[in-house]
Each structure stands twice: as C-alpha cells, then as structure tokens.
Amino acid sequence: MVQTFTVTTRARVPLEDLFDAALSVDSHVASMAATGERAIAGVTSGVMRLGDSVTWRGRHFGIWFTMTSRITHLDRPNVFVDEQQRGPFKHFRHVHRFEREGELVVMHDTITVASPVFGAFAERLVLVPHLRRLIRDRGEHLAGSLTIRP
C-alpha cells in the first residue's frame, strides 16, 4: 500500500542556499552519517541537476540497501523531485518544496513510499516512522549547516 507523509523544517537561512544544500550529494552523505550512506554511482559529489541520478548505499534496519534515484523535476529555488529508479521500494517519490515564511525558509519534504515486502500495517508501524526520522534529521542537519550566526 502507498503511504504519504510530510516533514517540515524551518530555518533562518537563505532560501537558495537551503535549496542547493538539499540537492547536494555531499550534504546528503553528511546528513546520513549514522547509516553509513554514500553515493557509489552516478553523481557522487556536488549539486545535482535535472535528469541527474545517483546510486546510494546505506545500512537501514541492520541491512545494506542500494537505491538509484533521479531528479525528475526541478524548478529552482521552489521545488525539486527525486524518484527511485531501482531499489528496495515498490514506489519512492520525494518532493522537496521551499517557501518563505516571514524571515524563515520552510522546507516541506513529502515522501510517497510503498514497500514490496511490508503490508500497510508494517509500513505505518515501521517503515514510515523510520523514514520520517531520517528526513527530519536530514532537514535539521541541512538547516544547521547553513545557520547564519550573529
């Protein structure tokens, strides 16, 4: 079954900087240090562009997973979408949307995911909370790495 959820991150940083950081392979790797995730093929460093793909390898639930995703939509600095091309999910789509809210920049990460293994109950109980935590930690890492200090 397909599950969709959104994680929102607010930060006092330049919108374009947060957008670029979210597209950065290097920033992603740094934000996923706990999983040992790294880019092993495709674009393996720098900021990705429309049509670029990257193959990630990381450890989740004690198991090594490999996933190739492609940037399928990009409208800088408002939104970009990455979608799984090959990997562990039946379906995986990640919409990154950015907007200004007063002096803050708001990043909305909307994930639509379906597992080929878990049923709807296990997806809601295990997979979605795990992904929500990863995306929340990633957003906090990105925002923290760009925070303007007085």
CB 6 within 8 A of CB 135: no
Q: The domain that contains 136 carries what CATH number?
A: 3.30.530.20
Report whether 111 contacts 94 (CB < 8 A). yes
- Rounded distance between C-alpha atoms, residue 92 and residue 104, angstroms: 28
Element at 77 (helix H, strand E) = none
Give the whole-angstrom CA distance, residue 40 versus residue 121: 32
Question: Does the pLDDT at position 150 exceed 50?
Answer: no
Distance CA(50)–CA(30), nearest Å, equals 22
Over range 13-29, report the average pLDDT: 96
Question: Distance (Å, rounded) from C-alpha 55 to C-alpha 99?
Answer: 28
For residue 148, pLDDT over 60 is answered with no
If one counts the domains in the chain, the total is 1
Q: Residue 147's pLDDT band (boundaries 50, 70, 90)?
A: low
What is the DSSP secondary structure assignment for residue 68, as one 8-state letter? E
Q: Give the strand order in the sheet containing 53-60.
A: 3-11, 104-114, 91-101, 79-86, 63-75, 53-60, 38-42
pLDDT (mean) for 124-128:
81
Q: Is the pLDDT of residue 141 over 70?
A: yes
Pairing of strands 63-75, 3-11: unpaired
Residue range of the domain that includes 109: 3-146
Whether the pLDDT of residue 113 is over 80: the answer is yes
